[in-house]
Amino acid sequence: MVDITLVDGLFVELLAVSKPYLTDAEREEVQQLLNDAEYPAALETFVYIFVDGGKSATQHVFALISRLTGMLHMDMDDTISRIPRLPPGRV
C-alpha cells in the first residue's frame, strides 16, 4: 500500500526543487493533477515537461523522481533517462 502522506511530501519537495525550471503553467498543470489525487499522471506529466521541453534536472530531482516511480509502481526508466542531467553543484 502506498503511503499517500509520503507521496504528497515528495511531490511538494519535487515541485520546490524544480521551481527554477518550471513555468507557472507547467507547475499549475502538475499541481492540479495532485489536487485530484492523480499521482501517476502528475509524475508522468512532470517527467514529460522535462523531456519535451529539453529541460535539464539536478541529481536531487532525479532522486525524487526515482523514489516516486518506485512508490507508485511506475516503469518510466526509458523516459526518465532522456532528461539531461545538470553537473553536480549546478542548480
The residues spanned by each domain of the chain are: 4-80
- Model confidence, pTM: 0.90
pLDDT score for 60:
94
CA distance 56 to 43: 16
CA distance 86 to 9: 24
In the predicted model, what is the mean pLDDT of residues 8-14?
Answer: 97
pLDDT score for 51:
94
pLDDT score for 90:
63
* Residue with cell string 524544480: 18
Residue 5 contacts residue 71 (beta carbons within 8 Å): no
